[in-house]
Amino acid sequence: MRDVKICIIGAGSAVFSLDLVRDLCLTKSLWGSTVSFMDIDEQRLNAVYNLAKRYANEMKANFRFKKATKREEGLQDADFVIDTALVGGHKIQEEQREIAEKHGYYRGIGDVVSDYYSDLGSYHQLKFFTDLTREMEEKCPDAWLLQTSNPVFEGCNLITRETKIKVIGLCDGFDLGCGVLIDTLKLAKEEVLIEAPGFNHMIWMTKFHYKGENAYPLLDEWIAKSAEEYWKENRNYYLPADMSPAAVDMYRIFGLLPIADTARVGNWWYHTDLETKKNWYGSTGGDDSEVVWPLYLKFLENQLDNLMEVANNPSASVTENFPPAKSIQQHISIIDALVNDNRGRFQVNVPNKNGISEIPSDVVIETPALVSKKGIEPLFKGKLPKGIMVGAMIPRMLRMELVLEAFLTGDRELLLQLILNDRRTKSLEQAKALLKDILKLPFNRSMMEHYK
């Protein structure tokens, strides 16, 4: 077997890293590979490294595991790099969100109609992507980068335009969203085919087949006969955005069902305040409300605590605590397809080459694709409805272009434009005051220097 070298950047995202380890152990065609974990948090890094070795041992899987706190050690001669790093974690985003709310921007300045991360201009992430890919050009120029951490849309566009690195943007939203749709309509998963092109966090169900037939009538029937009862039953504890009143409203407006984070991000008028969010996403206000988001962060904290407890207990069975079942992540299956020609159909973010006809070829789109030893073969070729293009896709694309131009030029006026374009901005003075306060935060020192 070939020694495939896989480097996981931001491996301290321990639960995600363990998902990748489980998938590797279940993919015998990749046994014998070398996996390098890299993270600046040594405690988390050591825990992941420890768990990976024990997991592989319990599964009798043959891998070589390495760990490093410096990128260059893991990147050297890598075949695949998986980037999961979120610079500063959620902490810096939450601090920026608090500042923005003081200036009248409910739930932060990330612009919920474009993305749900409160990080003006995504500076820290884009800087990290730039540094990582420049280093890859030196240490592993032929490697594939599987870009996982957000913002995938801006990040993949930046990387494909500014570097020579081969990048595939990956997000689990498509599979999660399709799962909710399939379960809600009580369909047999193996009989369903869904096609949903667009941009990351903005994809649209252009094809919905069940047993070879158009299944949109099944969705229409559910909306007409069952939706109200479903919303009523689920409203008091958790209402998935995928089948929420917001998703159905977007389907009514645009003519295609929004999939996954598309409905979660939604239209701006779903997110003006908590009461409005409750109307569209149930009594909790949806995944990104001030009610649910802190619970999500606490959930991540508890998951990490549980994982660390197993890591610190050498007598605990890792496979009993984390049973060996394939995760929802596509990374390992894509690597297997590219290396061993175990081809498959995946949802990927790649440059638009003869895909969505109205989108420029240098813009990255999210699309279904066949992946094999030959590479990536996007499957969607055609148009999206005009209403979707002018009402959602083009505005999102233009915001991406503004984010990248601001980052690449270091033009503070363009950064200010991002705030001025926010519908909640009432004056130039308000926007300038927010920008000033964000830039003077201690962890934004390099950001202030960048945007002269």
For the stretch 101-142, pLDDT in tens is 999 999 998 644 445 556 789 999 999 999 999 999 999 999
pLDDT tens digit sequence for 183-219: 999 999 999 999 999 999 999 999 999 999 999 999 9
The answer to whether residue 307 scores a pLDDT higher than 70 is yes
d(CA 201, CA 173): 8
pLDDT tens digit sequence for 52-80: 999 999 999 999 999 999 998 899 999 99
pLDDT tens digit sequence for 155-194: 999 999 999 999 999 999 999 999 999 999 999 999 999 9
Residue 449: phi and psi, rounded to 5, are -70, -35
Burial of 232 (0-12, 13-18, 19+ CB in 10 A): exposed
Mean pLDDT of 136-152: 97
Q: What is the pTM of this model?
A: 0.95
The answer to whether residue 26 scores a pLDDT higher than 90 is yes
Which helix (H) or strand (E) covers residue 214, if one does? Answer: strand 213-214
- Tell me, what DSSP letter sits at residue 3? -
Please give the pLDDT value at position 91. Answer: 86
d(CA 55, CA 311): 11
Burial profile 78-113: b = 16 or more Cβ within 10 angstroms, e = fewer: bbbbbbbbbbeebebbebbbebbeebebbbbbbbbb
Query: SS3 of 119, please?
Result: coil
Mean pLDDT of 257-261: 94
Please give the pLDDT value at position 110. Answer: 65
Q: In what order do the strands lie in the sheet with 213-214?
A: 192-195, 207-210, 213-214
d(CA 33, CA 35): 7
Q: DSSP for 82-99?
A: EE---TTHHHHHHHHHHH
Q: Please, what is the Cα angle at 3 between 39 and 160, to 5 degrees? A: 60
Phi-psi region of 28 (alpha: psi -120 to 50; beta: other; left: phi over 0): alpha
Please give the pLDDT value at position 114. Answer: 44
| Long-range CB contacts for residues 427-432, cutoff 8 Å, separation at least 24 | 430/103, 430/104
Mean pLDDT of 9-25: 90
* Band of pLDDT at residue 260, cut at 50, 70 and 90: confident
Written as one letter, the residue type at 51 is L
Q: Write down the mean pLDDT value for the chain.
A: 94
Which residues does 253 contact at the CB level (< 8 Å), separation at least 6? 267, 387, 391
d(CA 264, CA 275): 16
Mean pLDDT of 92-100: 91
Tell me what percent of the residues of the chain surpass a pLDDT of 70: 97
The answer to whether residue 319 scores a pLDDT higher than 90 is yes
The answer to whether residue 93 scores a pLDDT higher than 90 is no
Residue 123: phi and psi, rounded to 5, are -55, -50
pLDDT tens digit sequence for 220-252: 999 999 999 999 887 666 788 999 999 999 999
d(CA 245, CA 251): 10
Angle between helices 123-139 and 394-409 (to 10 degrees): 70
pLDDT tens digit sequence for 397-450: 999 999 999 999 999 999 999 999 999 999 999 999 999 999 999 999 999 999
Please give the pLDDT value at position 113. Answer: 42
Q: Please, what is the Cα angle at 195 between 184 and 278, to 5 degrees? A: 45
Residue 280: phi and psi, rounded to 5, are -95, -25
Q: How big is the chain, counted in residues?
A: 452
Phi-psi region of 60 (alpha: psi -120 to 50; beta: other; left: phi over 0): left
Q: Answer yes or no: are the C-beta atoms of 83 and 10 closer than 8 Å.
A: yes
Which one, of 8, 140, 114, 105, lies nearest residue 63 by Cα?
8
**One-letter-per-residue 3-state SS of 328-381:** CCCHHHHHHHHHHCCCEEEEEEEECCCCECCCCCCCEEEEEEEEECCEEEECCC
Please give the pLDDT value at position 44. Answer: 92
Query: SS3 of 115, please?
Result: coil
